[in-house]
Amino acid sequence: MQQKDWLSAEEVAKEIKVSAMTIKRNCQTYGSFLKFQQGEKNKYLIYQECIPVFQFIAKMRNKRNLQTKQIIELLSKEGFPKYIDIEPIQTTKQQPGQIQVGQGVVAVQELDRIVAERVSEQLKKHEENLKEWLTEQQKQQQEFQKSILQKINERDQNLMTMIRETQETKKWIAATQQKKWWQFWK
């Protein structure tokens, strides 16, 4: 698309004989039927082919005094094309591109392909993250089990040491008591 295909909101406003603010408001309200780009400092660039949509909206507002919802329904019934925003793939531009919907099956199939690719990429990323998380959890589980086994072994060794000491103490007490008992009869 060439630069002359895009008009400023002020240029469109002059052509339709409404204020530039009305054009900008219409861009926000009826955005699905309009192809436009919003730049810095509230600057709008509007695709030239969207002028009939603005004319239709102005006509419905002024002559028939219709509400927003009714105008949207009429835009659909009259066959005005809808546009949806898509993010460009592998480009450095910040603004999303727009493709026309409802005018052909090819655009929908292309959109389906793009969505499928993105979903596939996201699933792969999530799968990788899940694998990393699972590996980390397994490492933590193994460390925890090693720690538990080490503490159990230490406890068992301490318990065995205490049992041996208790047995030795009992033998010593028994030996001491026996000695006294025999000494008592002498």
Going from N- to C-terminal start, the domains of the chain cover 3-103
Q: What percent of the chain has pLDDT over 70?
A: 80
User: CA distances (Å), 88 to each of 19, 85, 150, 183, in order?
Assistant: 32, 9, 56, 104
74-86 average pLDDT score = 78
Q: Which residue has the higher pLDDT, 160 or 42?
A: 160
- The CA distances from residue 53 to 13, 40, 56, 58, 69, in Å, are 13, 24, 5, 9, 15
Contacts of range 128-131, beta carbons closer than 8 Å, 24 or more positions apart: none
What span, in angstroms and rounded, lies between the C-alpha atoms of 7 and 9? 7
How far apart are alpha carbons 11 and 37 in whole angstroms?
Answer: 14
Q: How do residues 26-52 score in pLDDT, each as one tens digit?
A: 888 888 888 888 877 778 888 888 889
Whether residue 71 contacts residue 60, with contact meaning beta carbons closer than 8 Å, is answered with yes
Coil/strand/helix, residue 81: coil
Q: What is the pLDDT of residue 156?
A: 96
**What average pLDDT does this structure show over 80-95?**
60
pLDDT at 164 over 80: yes
More confidently predicted of 113 and 100: 113
d(CA 147, CA 53): 71
Q: Is 107 exposed, middle or buried (0-12, 13-18, 19+ CB in 10 A)?
A: middle
Q: Which of 2-11, 102-111, 133-142, 164-173 has the lowest mean pLDDT?
A: 102-111
Reply yes or no on whether the pLDDT at 174 is more than 50: yes
**pLDDT at 181 (0 to 100):** 54
Class of domain 3-103: mainly alpha
Q: What is the pLDDT of residues 92-107, one digit of tens each?
A: 444 455 555 555 445 6
Q: How far apart are CA 33 and CA 13, in angstroms?
A: 17
